[in-house]
Amino acid sequence: MASAQKADTVREKHSYKPTGIRIGTDVLSIVRSSTDDTFEGWEVNADVDFYRYYLAMDYGYWARDYEAETGQYHNNGTYWRLGGDVNFLTKDPDRNMFFIGFRYGRSQFSESLVVERIDPNWGSLNATYTNSNISAGWLELTTGLRVKLWKFIWMGYTARLKFAPDIERTPEMEPHDVPGYGRADKDYYWGFNYQILIRLPLRKTPSVLLEK
């Protein structure tokens, strides 16, 4: 009797071979670059599936340029993130995602600060401080959604908690703004991305494979 029940048991068989690669961009960075005079940047996002586990990669550019009453600040640099996501919608035939993940981020950037002040005896005085080619790293916890809109077009968002910054210190000046992270004096930072993606299929496979 037990052997008969075992023979009739239907088990799901999962394949860990990738079925597709999604590549897209962060819409919010593009909008912010057009509407915020102090910011310029873009970001490219990609992921590939291994059943319910996804390898996720991001690469971006970030520049800040703003003025205060006593000076001007400018920075620019690139950053990348690498990590993984776990999808909790495993039975969705469209492979929509609700995920929780983890990232390691790394940035390489330069920055400068021009300080201006008026001396009663010497008039206008300027001093320039620079940091060239410095690096920073941090960790992230992520969560979000990926939803299929039409055929190969997807949309989604990623909310991220950035923490544990490890920023290279230089004798010239304290780093102020880290591309991909934010203010260098913050121990943690919240981030949000809204993505449009295209999915490139690698192989055709049914969403669920059943084995008796």
The pLDDT score that the predictor gives to residue 210 is 38
Cα angle, residue 174 at apex, residues 170 and 178 outer, rounded to 5°: 100
Q: Where are the beta strands (DSSP E) in 151-186?
A: 153-167, 177-178, 182-183
Token readout for 177 is 């703004």
Top pLDDT among 172 and 133 is at: 133
- Give the range among 41-50, 59-68, 75-84, 198-207 with minimum mean pLDDT: 198-207
pLDDT tens digits for range 151-199: 899 999 999 999 999 999 888 888 999 999 999 999 999 999 999 999 9
Q: pTM for the complete prediction?
A: 0.86
What is the band of 109 on the pLDDT scale with cuts at 50, 70, 90?
very high
How far is it, in rounded angstroms, from Cα 197 to Cα 156? 8
Distances (CA, A) of 185 to 49, 73, 163, 168: 36, 16, 11, 12
**Pairwise CA distance, residues 94 & 38, whole Å:** 40
Residue 50 has pLDDT above 50, yes or no: yes
- Report the helix count and the strand count for the chain, using DSSP H and E: 2, 12
Handedness of CA 21, 22, 24, 28 (dihedral sign): negative
Q: What is the identity of the amino acid at 47?
A: D
| Calpha distance 30→34 (Å, rounded) | 7
* Spatial distance between the Cα atoms of 25 and 174, rounded to a whole number of angstroms: 31
pLDDT of 138: 98
Scanning the chain, the segments in alpha helix (DSSP H) are: 2-8, 27-35
- Compute the mean pLDDT over every residue in the chain, rounded to the nearest whole number: 88
Q: How confident is the model at residue 91 (pLDDT cuts 50, 70, 90)?
A: confident
Q: Identify the residue with better confidence: 83 or 4.
A: 83
For residue 4, the model assigns a pLDDT of 45
The CA distance from 77 to 133, in Å, is: 8
195 within 8 A of 155, measured Cβ to Cβ: yes
The dihedral sign for the CA sequence 47, 48, 50, 55: negative
Q: What is the mean pLDDT of residues 32-47?
A: 96
Residue bearing the bigger pLDDT, 147 or 203: 147
